[in-house]
């Protein structure tokens, strides 16, 4: 595939990280951004040789960092301990080309790095297709550079004539491939939507948040499960759902989702269909925030923003709403409170976001309060009902058995009496099908 995909067994690449500080931001912010880029690079399997932040009043159109800085980088690279230069921002095809020409080592930008991590992590067919679509869409305007790269590797100069036509052929092939992958994705998602029907009747809680916030650890703590949790970024690529009995509220479903990050590649956002469905179907969103992270407020904003972008790209009508926000209520969960140096920080967190809940998924502290809050919401949004159905009404019986949390069923002559817990918004639908009597 015409994309930067290093072989899995490559030796550890030594990376130099490059950021630019523009007038709108501070050095401290850029340092934090570079630190995050370093984490991403390590997640992708690279080691870090060094980093540099260039202060500029504006970006340079042809070299991004400016000709002088580029020379400086070339000097730094000639010392011999750098195989790869990673830019914290997206480079235009021309910028990447110019920089690569001068530096003679691999040059990638933030999007390529994130796509590379996703490509390595994707396990399910659906995740793989989504990543491949994003990679191809990203590669499409950059084919010329990739071709130059290849011809340089082959030692060939003067391949321009045939190269040009080859690029046209490749572009067409890539577009065809994207179209066919999208069709396959739609087929897979059709099936997934069918399977999801099974969880309609249960109360759905979707866990969202910045990558590494502790979403999977929280799910494991809540459900006693063992979803992969790790200090690497993007350990979770596929959603996982666990059923949990909440005393009083019956069974509910918790779903762990992929983490978000600053400057998430646009192509990738539009392919987050699974997460979109998880968010759309949620009755309650738990937004997990790393309380010990100094930029937690920024991260809350970034996650809200990505959620809006995902929802805006969603199916039917959502596109028309530029500020589409999740339909479900959101509860902010400040995680990792065990890492807070200052005890007084916890009340300050609570004050900063009303109704938020401080927890430590690692130690279990605060988990009971979280479960209480979830139970309270679930009780508000669901109700216990008694449903009487004629034993011959197969359609309604099938609907109840498949879509509603059933506590008990009793046969009383020609009638089946169910005791169920169902979502308020499902009650009307059931009422039209059978005689629903609400028991309070």
Ligand X SMILES: Nc1nc2c(ncn2[C@@H]2O[C@H](COP(=O)(O)OP(=O)(O)OP(=O)(O)O)[C@@H](O)[C@H]2O)c(=O)[nH]1
Which residues contact ligand X (rule: CB under 6 A)? Answer: 209, 211-217, 229-231, 233-236, 259, 335-336, 338-339, 360-362
Cβ burial, residue 189 (10 Å; 0-12/13-18/19+):
middle
Residue written as tokens 């899995």? Answer: 8
Show the tokens assigned to 139: 């590669």
Residue 211: name its binding partner from ligand X, Mg ion, none (Cβ under 5 to 8 Å by kind): ligand X
Residues 183-222 that bind Mg ion (CB under 5 A): 215-216
Torsion of CA 315, 318, 324, 327, to 10 degrees: -70
Pairing mode, if any, of strands 203-209 and 284-290?
parallel
Q: Is 240 in the site for Mg ion (CB under 5 A)?
A: no
Show the tokens assigned to 422: 């169902």
Q: Where are the beta strands (DSSP E) in 176-249?
A: 203-209, 240-246
Least separation in angstroms between residue 235's CB and ligand X is 4
Q: Is 337 in the site for Mg ion (CB under 5 A)?
A: no
Identify any residues that bridge with 390 across adjacent strands, giving them in sequence order.
Answer: 415
Query: Would you give the binding string for Mg ion spanning residues 285-324, x where CB under 5 A is met?
Result: ----------------------------------------
Least separation in angstroms between residue 259's CB and ligand X is 2
Residues 145-164 that bind Mg ion (CB under 5 A): none
Of 235 and 330, which CB lies nearer to Mg ion in the complex structure? 235
Residue nearest to ligand X (CB): 259
Residue 331 per-residue DSSP state: E
Q: How many amino acids of this chain bind Mg ion (CB under 5 A)?
A: 4
Q: Where are the beta strands (DSSP E) in 312-403?
A: 329-335, 357-358, 382-390
Rounded-to-integer distance, Cα 359 and Cα 259, Å: 19
Residue 362: name its binding partner from Mg ion, ligand X, none (Cβ under 5 to 8 Å by kind): ligand X
Residue 189: name its binding partner from Mg ion, ligand X, none (Cβ under 5 to 8 Å by kind): none
Cβ-based neighbour number of residue 169 at 10 Å: 9
Of 53 and 340, which CB lies nearer to ligand X in the complex structure? 340
Of 130 and 235, which CB lies nearer to Mg ion in the complex structure? 235
Residue 54 per-residue DSSP state: E
Residue nearest to Mg ion (CB): 236
Least separation in angstroms between residue 163's CB and ligand X is 40
Least separation in angstroms between residue 68's CB and ligand X is 38
Least separation in angstroms between residue 39's CB and ligand X is 10
Of 103 and 222, which CB lies nearer to Mg ion in the complex structure? 222
Which of 43, 63, 236, 335 touches Mg ion (CB under 5 A)?
Answer: 236
Length of the chain: 440
Task: From 130, 371, 112, 86, select the one nearest 237 (Cα to Cα).
Answer: 130
Rounded-to-integer distance, Cα 202 and Cα 195, Å: 13
3-state secondary structure of 272: coil
Rounded-to-integer distance, Cα 157 and Cα 220, Å: 56
Least separation in angstroms between residue 340's CB and ligand X is 10
Q: Give the interface segment with Mg ion, choosing from 123-131, 178-186, 232-240, 324-332 (CB under 5 A).
A: 232-240
Rounded-to-integer distance, Cα 401 and Cα 403, Å: 6
Task: From 254, 215, 242, select the one nearest 335 (Cα to Cα).
Answer: 215
Q: Is 335 in the site for Mg ion (CB under 5 A)?
A: no
Of 38 and 259, which CB lies nearer to ligand X in the complex structure? 259
Q: Is 275 in the site for Mg ion (CB under 5 A)?
A: no
Residue 234: name its binding partner from ligand X, Mg ion, none (Cβ under 5 to 8 Å by kind): ligand X
Kindly give, in sequence order, each residue whose CB lies less than 8 Å from that of residue 399, ignoring residues fewer than 6 positions away.
430, 433
Residue 369: name its binding partner from Mg ion, ligand X, none (Cβ under 5 to 8 Å by kind): none
Binding site for Mg ion (CB under 5 A): 215-216, 235-236
């Amino acid at each position: 595939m015409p994309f930067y995909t290093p072989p899995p067994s490559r030796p550890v690449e030594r990376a130099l990280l490059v950021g630019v500080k523009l007038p709108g931001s501070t050095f401290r912010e850029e340092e934090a951004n570079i630190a995050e880029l370093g984490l991403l690079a390590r997640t992708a399997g690279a080691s870090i040789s060094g980093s540099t932040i260039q202060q500029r009043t504006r970006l340079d159109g042809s070299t991004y960092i400016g000709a002088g800085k580029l020379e400086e980088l070339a000097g730094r690279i000639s010392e011999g301990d750098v195989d790869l230069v990673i830019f914290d921002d997206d480079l235009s095809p021309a910028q990447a080309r110019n920089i690569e020409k001068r530096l003679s080592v691999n040059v990638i930008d933030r999007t390529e790095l994130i796509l590379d991590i996703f490509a390595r992590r994707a396990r399910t067919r659906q995740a793989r297709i989504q990543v491949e679509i994003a990679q191809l869409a990203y590669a499409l305007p950059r084919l010329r550079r990739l071709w130059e790269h290849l011809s340089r590797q082959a030692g060939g100069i003067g391949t321009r004539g045939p190269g040009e036509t080859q690029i046209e052929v490749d572009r067409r092939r890539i577009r065809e491939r994207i179209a066919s992958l999208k069709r396959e994705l739609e087929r897979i998602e059709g099936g997934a939507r069918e399977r999801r029907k099974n969880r309609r009747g249960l109360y759905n809680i979707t866990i969202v948040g910045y990558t590494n916030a502790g979403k999977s650890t929280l799910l494991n703590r809540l459900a006693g499960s063992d979803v992969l949790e790790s200090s690497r970024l993007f350990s979770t690529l596929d959603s996982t759902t666990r059923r949990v009995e909440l005393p009083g509220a019956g069974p509910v479903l918790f779903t762990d989702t992929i983490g978000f990050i600053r400057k998430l590649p646009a192509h990738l956002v539009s392919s987050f269909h699974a997460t979109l469905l998880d968010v759309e179907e949620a009755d309650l969103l738990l937004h997990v925030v790393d309380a010990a992270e100094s930029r937690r407020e920024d991260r809350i904003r970034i996650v809200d923003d990505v959620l809006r972008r995902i929802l805006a790209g969603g199916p039917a009508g959502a596109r028309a709403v530029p500020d589409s926000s999740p339909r479900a209520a959101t509860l902010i969960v400040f995680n990792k409170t065990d890492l807070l140096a200052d005890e007084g920080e916890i009340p300050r967190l609570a004050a900063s976001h009303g109704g938020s809940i401080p927890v430590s998924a690692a130690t279990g502290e605060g988990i009971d309060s979280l479960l209480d809050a979830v139970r309270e919401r679930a009780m508000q949004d669901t109700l216990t009902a008694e449903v009487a159905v004629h034993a011959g009404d197969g359609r309604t019986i099938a609907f109840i058995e498949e879509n509603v949390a059933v506590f008990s069923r009793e046969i009383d002559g020609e009638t089946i009496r169910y005791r169920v817990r169902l979502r308020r918004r499902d009650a009307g639908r059931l009422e039209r099908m059978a005689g629903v009597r609400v028991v309070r």
